[in-house]
Amino acid sequence: MVDVTIRGAGILGLALAWVLVSRGAKVQVIDPNGVAHGASGGIVGALAPHVPENWNSKKEFQRDSLLMAETFWSDVDGASGRSSGYARLGRVQPILEDRGIALAKLRGENAQELWQGRATWRVLTASDMDDWMTPSPTGHWIFDTLTGRINPLAACQSLAAAIRTKGGTFDAVGQDRGHVVWATGVHDLDRISAQRPRMFGNGVKGQAALFALDRRDFPQLFADALHIIPHENGTVAVGSTSERDYDDATSTDAQLDDIVARARQFLPQLQDAPILQKWAGVRPRSRSRAPVMGPHPLDPAAYILNGGFKIGLGMAPKMAHVMADILLEGHDAIPDDFRPEASY
């Protein structure tokens, strides 16, 4: 007997499968392309929070998910015997204008309450920094301790191995049994949009590069719209573009060359670091820009779990638990902004 069929072996489908099998459910995952074939097999892996102000349900949900990530990934890696590359080492951002210093300090005060004393957002000066930083014209930087990092492909592989240890199965094709959850990313957004009066969601291409540089114990950097992520395997990932229009979903081009050049300009350590990999993939973005959870728009008897876009890796732990509560207990705690009707 199968309690839940999950279509899609990306980060959201795998996270849900793990939570379900951990609670004793029988789960099958079906994906013709295998584990982490699409955007979930990327190289960046920034688990970064929204700014602690103008608080809303999306920011609260993300905070909760980032705070539960350490336990979530520790359990996954413990079961799989592999490493997801997770660590919560924080993030450093330059403050570009003098007026931004006071705003950053105010946000730090907000973080004390909104982040429940479990993470901090503070302003640093040059005396607080080492050589792992991007230039700041004000001589000030923001450092937050809620931001984490993960190796997306390794995390998906660890999840798949952990799911198998608890009896979960993987197939390229198969018959739907039990509850059905569609977590197929851009494929499903396109399928829904084709049958709706207006676009439900779309794919946004991203390009990134992986450098051979060991800064595994350092925080990630964010500057000039670039995420610079040191990974535990002795690499540094830099990304990414956001392309609504593209011809080839997996090719890299001059836009990535620009990212590499800017990153090397910011960080002298990257100037001589060889590039190990260039990556491109398409991330699923819902019309509402929020993740999508709930009854499937094309089949109310099934469910949708989608729209991770740039925050899917960080949102996955809590999204998985909320969806598992619905499937196993009938308890619905989906934020209104995440429901499919928000993207109609």
Task: Examine the domain organization and report whether 132 and 261 are in the same domain.
Answer: no
Q: Specify the CATH number for the domain of residue 211.
A: 3.30.9.10
Q: Specify the CATH number for the domain of residue 34.
A: 3.50.50.60
DSSP 23: T
pLDDT reported for residue 271: 94
Residue-by-residue pLDDT tens, the chain, 344 positions: 899 999 999 999 999 999 999 999 999 999 999 999 999 999 999 999 999 999 999 999 999 999 999 999 999 999 999 999 999 999 999 999 999 999 999 999 999 999 999 999 999 997 777 778 899 999 999 999 999 999 999 999 999 999 999 999 999 999 999 999 999 999 999 999 999 888 999 999 999 999 999 999 999 999 999 999 999 999 999 999 999 999 999 999 999 999 999 999 989 999 999 999 999 999 999 999 999 999 999 999 999 999 999 999 999 999 999 999 999 999 999 999 999 999 88
Residue 301, amino acid: A
Distance CA 340, CA 73 (A): 28
Distance CA 322, CA 257 (A): 40
Distance CA 205, CA 282 (A): 4
Which sign does the torsion angle of CA 64, 70, 71, 76 carry?
positive
Q: How many CA atoms lie within 13 A of 300 on its CB side?
A: 1
From 259, 283, 307, the end of a domain falls on 283
Of 54, 57, 129, give the one whose Cα is nearest residue 90: 129
Distance CA 81, CA 79 (A): 6
Check if the beta carbon of residue 69 is closer than 8 Å to that of residue 314.
yes
Check if the beta carbon of residue 104 is closer than 8 Å to that of residue 143.
no
Task: Examine the domain organization and report whether 180 and 323 are in the same domain.
Answer: yes
Q: Which residue has the tokens 């190796």?
A: 151
pLDDT reported for residue 131: 79
Distance CA 56, CA 75 (A): 29
State the pTM of this model: 0.97
Task: Examine the domain organization and report whether 139 and 224 are in the same domain.
Answer: no
Q: 43 is in which domain, residue-wise?
A: 4-84+148-198+288-343
Task: Examine the domain organization and report whether 181 and 153 are in the same domain.
Answer: yes
Q: Domain count of the chain?
A: 3
Check if the beta carbon of residue 219 is closer than 8 Å to that of residue 89.
yes
Task: Examine the domain organization and report whether 179 and 63 are in the same domain.
Answer: yes
Encoded tokens for 169? 């199965």
Task: Examine the domain organization and report whether 276 and 223 are in the same domain.
Answer: yes
Task: Examine the domain organization and report whether 29 and 158 are in the same domain.
Answer: yes
From 108, 127, 145, the end of a domain falls on 145
pLDDT reported for residue 344: 86
pLDDT reported for residue 292: 97
| 130 burial level (CB within 10 Å; 0-12, 13-18, 19+) | exposed
DSSP letter for each residue of 104-173:
HHHHHHHHHHHTTTSS-EEEEEGGG--S-S---TTSEEEEESS-EE--HHHHHHHHHHHHHHTT-EEESS
